[in-house]
Chain A
Amino acid sequence: MSNYADHLSKQLFNDAIDHAPTRKGFGDGLILAGDLDKRVVALCADLTESTQMDGFAKKYPERYFEVGVAEQNLATVAAGLAAEGFIPFTSSYAAFSPGRNWEQIRTTACLNEQPVKIVGSHAGLSVGPDGATHQMLEDIALMRSLPHMTVIVPCDVIEARKATMEIAKTKLPAYLRLAREKTPVITTDDSPFEIGKAQVWREGSDITIIVAGPLAYEALKVCEILAEESIDVELINCPSIKPLDDITILTSTRKTRAVVTVEEAQINGGLGSAIAELLVEHDPVCMERIGVHDSFGQSGTMPELWNHYQLLAADIAAAARRVIKRSNQQT
């Protein structure tokens, strides 16, 4: 184990590494944001406990509003509260918010420039047994296309906590994508988090792997797998999909000339698309995108689904080898 950023967990490749769901980080962060700023209010559409809003609801009952199973109302009541100077956080499953209420978010939050924070929990395949209807894979694409919207996909519970506190400070809407299942706690309290910034987790020279969300741990494993083959991976954690950290990404790809992106979402419109758009306009390099390839999910456990949709370390490593080979053929 070498070349990793100092601020990452000391248990990085130890079986004893802590596990926690990113949604818990949101719950913790919301209480902290509420402590710091009394303008922070919370609204939920009948999923208060599973989206981890219950802690805030207990601590600040007068600043918490249950709207029932009504996601359109969720977004627009929040827009009204924002108009009165509050900073509303809305939570539901990502499949329903922003899945169902996209137009309300577009008009009353984005075009209307109100700081409504959309928290989509149980996103990606992590809601496992519930099946395709609840496995939201298109949320990043939906939110990323909206002007004035910030899109954050945290990799672990700590980053989710920091992201929640950061988006509470902005004057515009933001989308925070959360997962249901426990995943490794990779970062520490010392790890930097800033909207619009990516972090180089491991410096390397042969290929750039860019990841957002809990699959970051699979990407870390790839660094070790490929190191055995003398392939030196530069790993970038990219929680801020919009705004994107162009400088960090282009600086890395200028060096490595090869990229693999990794996300638990449709490859069309997500992180991979955002990176591809950046590179094709500034400095095209060989690239592959790991993600769900234009299909819906299905019932199963999260590990079964990650395996089926080829999102695991072995799949990422194979993609990396292919990209490096193509890149070498070009030069």
Chain B
Amino acid sequence: MKHSVKDLDLIANTIRVDIIKMLEAAGSGHSAGPLGMADVFTALYFEVLNHRPQDPEWEDRDRLILSNGHIVPIRYATMAEAGYFPKEELLTLRKFGSRLQGHPERVRLPGMESTSGPLGSGLSQAAGIGLGLKLKGNTSSRVYVCMGDGELNEGNVWEAAMFASARKINNLTAIIDRNNIQIDGFTETVMPLEPLAMKWQAFGWHVIEVDGHNIEQIVAACLEAQAIFERPTVLIAHTIPGKGVDYMEREPVWHGMPPGLKDIPGDPPKDEQVKVALAELRTLRGKIRGEHE
């Protein structure tokens, strides 16, 4: 790996802090998903992806599609950390005139590979990109797509799952954020997905289950995918929604809400929510430093 685990964990921690600040400034947006995916995005942008922040259209880059566009604060925060644009711009999230739209728009922000938000269409776009790369003879680039688990309710996802496997699009790696929540509640209550790994296997995919907060595991799984012939790979990344902020973790109520907006029984009062979240992340930072000493 290019970085130490400690450094990567610290980067993920910084990104989580940025997400809290962005959401506070925006006054709207999703909290749980972006926090839960901080380790996956850190792994992607700082270890896995072959990319050039100063040259986002570089032909040989790896492509990353974000299918569940509502968690885009994590992508913005990670891109800024990686040097795509100044970190000050993060506080313009969701504001008039900002390049950081509430849901990502390709045309507004270099490095954003596709426009997304309405769920279920990222995997098929990634499959199209994978096909396109092969057709062009570009063997150095791979395409990655991040999806939510609630998003798997969409029929378009399974159309794409059939297609990518039938076409043997092996330069495609999908990463599912298996955090078990969606807007109306727990995924297994709203529309059960299990046995999820078996579903993907039955569709002809190579399936790897990983701890979505273990960056080493995520990187190793992405490397394993590169060695799979004739099949696309899906990583089922088990994550904790809201990871890093205790009162948000595993609570569906925090799926679609920013801190500081509403009083939630059992959670810190709304005026304290941001302060508590940042304090916890600061403590976590100390722990990361300590554990790796």
Residues of A near any B CB (own CB < 8 A): 41, 62-63, 65, 67-68, 70, 72-73, 76-86, 88, 103-104, 107-108, 111-113
Contact = CB atoms under 8 A, between A and B. Distances in A.
A41 to B, nearest CB: 7
B128 A70 contact: no
B125 A63 contact: no
Contact of A108 (B107, B115, B167): B115
B113 interface: yes
B141 to A, nearest CB: 9
Nearest to B164: A77
Contacts of A70: 159, 162-163
B163 A67 contact: yes
B73 interface: no
A76 B160 CA distance: 9
A70 B106 CA distance: 25
24 contacts: A65-B131, A67-B159, A68-B163, A72-B120, A73-B156, A73-B159, A76-B125, A76-B128, A77-B127, A79-B125, A79-B128, A80-B125, A80-B126, A80-B130, A80-B132, A81-B132, A83-B113, A83-B132, A84-B129, A86-B135, A104-B118, A104-B121, A107-B117, A108-B121
Interface string B251-273: 00000000000000000000000
A112 B135 CA distance: 22
Given A67-B163, A83-B113, A86-B135, A113 B125 contact: no
Interface residues of B, number: 31
A77 B164 CA distance: 10
Given A63-B135, A107-B116, A113-B106, A83 B129 contact: yes
Chain A's interface: helix, strand, loop or mixed, by majority?
helix
B125 A108 contact: yes
Contact of A41 (B115, B135, B167): B135
Contact of B115 (A68, A80, A112): A112
Given A83-B113, A83-B114, A84-B132, 9 more contacts: A63-B135, A72-B156, A77-B131, A77-B160, A78-B128, A79-B124, A80-B126, A83-B125, A111-B115
Contacts of B124: 72-73, 76-77, 79-80
B203 to A, nearest CB: 13
Interface of B: 63, 105-107, 113-118, 120-121, 124-133, 135-136, 155-156, 159-160, 162-163, 167
B115 A77 contact: no
B127 A72 contact: no
Contact of B114 (A65, A79, A88): A79
Contact of B136 (A77, A84, A111): A84
A105 B28 CA distance: 27
Contacts of B116: 107-108
Contacts of B113: 83
Nearest to B129: A80
Contact of A81 (B63, B120, B131, B155): B131
Name, among A62, A67, A68, A77, the residue most crowded by chain B CB atoms within 10 Å (CB to CB). A77
A65 B63 CA distance: 21
Contacts of B163: 67-68, 70, 73, 77
Contacts of B167: 65
A147 to B, nearest CB: 12
A67 B165 CA distance: 12
A150 B159 CA distance: 27
Nearest to A101: B156
Given A72-B159, A112-B107, A113-B107, A107 B118 contact: yes
Given A84-B136, A107-B116, A68 B162 contact: yes
Contact of A83 (B118, B120, B128): B128
Contacts of B155: 72
